[in-house]
Each structure stands twice: as C-alpha cells, then as structure tokens.
Structure 1
C-alpha cells in the first residue's frame, strides 16, 4: 500500500530567499561604503554619508517587505518567528553600520585609525558570506561552515577591537575628546561584528529546523 504525505509548509523557498538576499545585499553595499569612508578625504565624505543613509532606508524597506510577506502568507517555508528573527538580525547589522557612519559625520572625524581597516575588512567578509549562504538555508553542512567562519571572524574582530581601544587610550591626555569620538566609532564597528554573529545564529536556527 502506498502512502501519500502532505507537507504543512511549502518547499519552494524562492520568494523568501530572494527577500533575504535582497536585504543582505544592502549589507555588502554598506561595508563597501565603510571602506570608502576610511579612504575618503573631507570633500568626498558628504556623498558617502548620504549614500549610507539611502542604503539604510532601502534596508528598512526590505525588512518591512519581509515582515509584510510573512504576515500576509497563509503558509511559509520556514517558521514565522524564525523569519521575523532573521529579518530583525539583518536590520540590526545595517543599523550599526549606519550609526558608525553617522558618528563619523556628526563628530566630523577626518581620519580613522589605520587599524580600523581590519574591522571593516571583517565586516565586508561577513556580509559577503551571508549573501552566499542565504540561498542554502536547507543545506545544514553549508550553514554550519558559515556559522563557524562568522564566529571565527567575530573573534578576530574582537581581538583587533581590543588592540585598537588600547592604542587609542594610550594617546595624549590633551587629545581626550578626539579619543572619545574615535572610540565611539570603533565600538560601533565592533557592534556590527557582534550583530553578524547574532545573525548567524538566526540563520542556523532556520537551517536546523528546515533541513
């Protein structure tokens, strides 16, 4: 006797995969802008700051679209709460990037410490890996490799962050205001890396349930 099995959730993930990837693509664009800000002169800064604000608004719209699609769908390929969590974690990464750029702007920081480049390189790699893994949420092994690499990168960024803070705090006492401004920026860059680690956890949760 043959049996017929019915899935309670569809296996066609294309719609949500496209939405996730579209949202994550804004993170790769944000990382490129952070790198651009590191190298830009004073004249080039306003354009990059304005562009980051545009990207942040687009990322917000992408998040709203995911939430709307979840709320309006009769069935979803992944758990609704997990989709909401993934959308929120993607948004958190973008928000911290935007805050870092905003601090650079409002503090009128002309130059970031050279070691900031290491933080931004890690952020760019995390964003790139996230875009690549999102179409493969049902591939548990691929997601596991992604999570391991994100954790490794976050640990690397944290070590670099400690060294950078130590370097800044070793500055002259007369430069305390400038040091505090720079600390605000480098701490926000570290917050981006922490947000990516939380994002990786949200990806892993979906993968474990779906695969």
Structure 2
C-alpha cells in the first residue's frame, strides 16, 4: 500500500467538497446544454434560454465561493488544497466564457446562427459531460484510469474546437463583407473557443490529481 493510499484510508469520508464539486459540474453540463438548445431555436425564442444561462452561471459562482469558504475552514481536504482551488476555478472559467458567448449574442443581436457556432456549442456540451464523468470518479480515487480517459477525450475535443474556430474565422474574413458582422461573429466564436480552452485546463488539473494519487 502506497503512502497516498494509507493517507486516503485514514482521512474521514468527505461530506463537504465532493457534493459541491458534483453540484458545480451538474450546473456546468446544464449550462452547456441550455446554450446549445438556445442557438437551435428561432431568434425570438432564445431570450429566456440566455437568461437561464446567466442564472446558472451565477449559481456556479456561488458554489465556487462556497468551496473557497470550505477551504478556509477545513484543515483536512480530500486532495491538495491548491488542486481543489485550481479545479474549481477552471470549472468556473468554462461557465464564464459560455455565459460570455450568450451575452455577446444578445448584445450584438446575432440572429443568424452559423454552422460553426452550432459545432462549437455541441463540442462544449460533449466536453462538459466528460468533465462530469471525471469529477464523479474523483470520489474515492479508485477509478483513475477512467479519469485519465476523460482527460484524453477532453483534450481531443479541445483540438477539434480549435480547428472549427480557425476555419470559421478564416471563412468569416474571406466571405463576410460587413465589418460589423465580422466583429460580432468573431467575438461569439472567440468566447466559445475560450470555453473549450478552459475545459482543457480542467483536464490538466485532473491529470495532476491522478498522477499524485496513482
């Protein structure tokens, strides 16, 4: 039995952090799905969905704040304090950028949704679901291979999002003649791609955790 295994055996079952992690990632998945649903609706029907995205993002911020409060109160944590802080911050960042994308669509009155925007929101839904699987497997640190596989898939999806973004921007500059449209669509695409980048950051933190407890 390794030193880490012994330590985990001696540490009391966590009843504070894991439930909060799971609440946060459930909200993250819901946010990504709500945004994806919104852009597949007629423009007049999107407003309520965008408002819901904003509400969910605020919920995630509150959960993140609760985790930070628990970090300040508890000496014993389920894994390294720095990793807990990095993990929840990265999850919060993913939510922030998806909410930014929704906000920009509202602000710039983006009525026509391009194929690239749909593809990016779809990738973000898939990636957030992988984050969800990995977060649930953190409890007990027993299925580290599953977490590693989720990270591999997340990194693959992030690379896919990069390609979608690069092609979308290239097409935008080649085919769009209205400068205002170039600006507003690039802003939306950038926010969605940034959300994907932050998902990769979540995977990086998860990989760090698995290395420490393997």
**The two structures share one fold, judged by TM-score above 0.5:** yes
Answering whether residue 25 of structure 2 is matched by residue 7 of structure 1, we say: no
> Residue 172 and residue 6 in structure 1: after superposition, are their counterparts in 2 closer, same or farther (change >3 A)?
closer
Aligned equivalents of 1:11, 1:210: Cα separation in 2: 17
Shift of 1:69: 1.2
Shift of 1:6: 6.9
Aligned equivalents of 2:65, 2:85: Cα separation in 1: 10
Q: Residue 113 of structure 1 aligns with which residue?
A: 114
* Worse overlay, 14-23 or 104-113: 14-23
Q: TM-score, normalised by structure 1?
A: 0.91
Q: Would you tell me which structure has more helix in proportion to its own residues?
A: 2
Gaps of 5+ in 2: none
Shift of 1:12: 2.2
> Residue 180 and residue 149 in structure 1: after superposition, are their counterparts in 2 closer, same or farther (change >3 A)?
same
After superposition, the CA RMSD in angstroms is 1.8
Describe the superposition over 1:148-182 as per-residue Cα deviations: whole angstroms up to 9, x where unpaired.
11111111111111111111111242x11112100
Aligned equivalents of 2:6, 2:151: Cα separation in 1: 31
> Residue 172 and residue 119 in structure 1: after superposition, are their counterparts in 2 closer, same or farther (change >3 A)?
closer
Q: Residue 85 of structure 1 aligns with which residue?
A: 86
Asked whether the equivalents of residues 129 and 146 of structure 1 are also in contact (C-alpha less than 8 Å), the reply is yes
Q: Residue 66 of structure 2 aligns with which residue?
A: 65
Q: TM-score, normalised by structure 2?
A: 0.90
Shift of 1:130: 0.9
Q: Residue 125 of structure 1 aligns with which residue?
A: 126
Aligned equivalents of 1:171, 1:199: Cα separation in 2: 35
Asked whether the equivalents of residues 171 and 179 of structure 1 are also in contact (C-alpha less than 8 Å), the reply is no
Aligned equivalents of 1:122, 1:57: Cα separation in 2: 22
Gaps of 5+ in 1: none
Asked whether the equivalents of residues 33 and 52 of structure 1 are also in contact (C-alpha less than 8 Å), the reply is yes
Shift of 1:23: 0.5
Shift of 1:97: 0.5
Answering whether residue 150 of structure 2 is matched by residue 146 of structure 1, we say: yes
Q: Residue 100 of structure 1 aligns with which residue?
A: 101
Aligned equivalents of 1:124, 1:6: Cα separation in 2: 37
* One of 170, 187, 190 as aligned partner of 2:190: 187
> For 2:128, what is the secondary structure of its paired residue?
helix
